[in-house]
Amino acid sequence: MLKHWFNPQRETSQAGTGNGRSPSPSSHLINLQQVVKTYHSSAGAFTALKGVDLVAQAGEFVAIIGKSGSGKSTLINMIAGIDRPSSGEVWVEGTAVHTLTESEIAQWRGRRLGVIFQFFQLLPTLTLMQNVMLPMDFCQTYPIPERRERGMALLEQVGMADYAHKLPSAVSGGHQQLVAIARSLANDPPILLADEPTGNLDSYTAETIFQLFGSLIDAGKTILMVTHDQDKAHRVTRAITVVDGELFEEADMDLDAELRGGAEIHREKESRKQ
């Protein structure tokens, strides 16, 4: 159903070219190499990511799970270029994201990534249609006459076309999240990053959104989703647990181990080394 409006090959020839870009060190769609992120404040230094490595391939649906403060949102922010690594490298589609300037990152992110936030982040003074059209206006990715048609088509795909001319405050939180997903797809990005997209929604709407993500994977998208939901984490292509700034693959341990706490996970890791 969704494939008509998405073309995974669009603009892929541009990836890895231009200022700050060079050929990727691997064929992975996403490749983080020894990424460290340390925050400094008056209270001292806090390391949110501790030399993490992460790769993701095209067409994967990856769940990133972990407790609050574990570093999972920081990990997503590294990939999106919202935050910069203290050391290490972040490669996405052959682009060295860690080397881009702020203006380059804004344009690159607008064209190549769709970002979905837990709290929707819709502009309150714009209609739902205008919110969906905004990325197209910012990046000039489609001819002006096509933007409204595409915006309406995307709203229709998420079941929100009847509300196109309403303000965000006039619809529910679940409906706002559906619109936020439509907005993330405006420029037909190959990668979607979703940070707790169902965290504030009822179970029915959360399931609707999760099924929509499945349709997007079928249409050729790659999704990395931060979630606390263990049941949904088991339904994706691959799951990664973040504990105290370190990553653990599903193959390394049962996902339910995350619920038992970071200390036990570290003990399991050490026991496998012996």
Query: Using one digit for the tens of pLDDT, what is the confidence trace for 140-197?
Result: 999 998 999 999 999 999 999 999 999 999 999 999 999 999 999 999 999 999 988 8
Supply the CATH number for residue 179's domain.
Answer: 3.40.50.300
Please report the pLDDT score of residue 45 as a whole number.
Answer: 92
pLDDT of the residue at 134: 95
12 or 247: whose pLDDT is higher?
247
Say which range, 97-106, 112-121, 230-239, 265-274, has the weakest mean pLDDT: 265-274
Residue 4 lies in a domain: no
Q: Higher pLDDT residue, 273 or 200?
A: 200
Identify whether 232 is part of a domain.
yes
**33, part of any domain:** yes
Residue 253: band (very low, low, confident or very high) from pLDDT cuts 50, 70, 90: very low
If you search the block for the tokens 């080394």, which residue do you land on?
273
Residue 11 lies in a domain: no
pLDDT tens sequence across 9-35: 444 334 443 444 444 455 789 999 999
pLDDT band at 259 (very low <50, low <70, confident <90, very high): very low
DSSP string, 43-103: TEEEEEEEEEEEEE-TT-EEEEE--TTSSHHHHHHHHHTSS--SEEEEEETTEEGGG--HH
Identify whether the C-beta of residue 191 lies closer than 8 Å to the C-beta of residue 224: yes
- Within a domain: 216: yes
pLDDT band at 7 (very low <50, low <70, confident <90, very high): low
The per-residue pLDDT for 26 is: 57
The domain of 40 spans 20-273
Model confidence at 267: pLDDT above 50: no
**Which pTM does this prediction carry?**
0.80
How many domains would you assign to the chain?
1
Helix (H) or strand (E) holding 256: none
Of all residues in the chain, the percent with pLDDT exceeding 90 is 57
**pLDDT for position 271:** 55
Decide the pairing of beta strands 191-195 and 222-227. parallel
Answer whether residue 108 is part of any domain. yes
Exposed/middle/buried for 217, CB within 10 Å: 0-12, 13-18, 19+? middle
Does residue 28 lie in a domain region?
yes
Q: Tell me what pLDDT residue 235 has.
A: 76
Percent of the chain with pLDDT over 70: 80
Q: Is the residue at 9 inside a domain?
A: no
Query: What rounded mean pLDDT belongs to the chain?
Result: 83
Range list of H helices, the chain? 72-80, 102-112, 128-139, 144-157, 173-184, 203-218, 230-233, 262-273
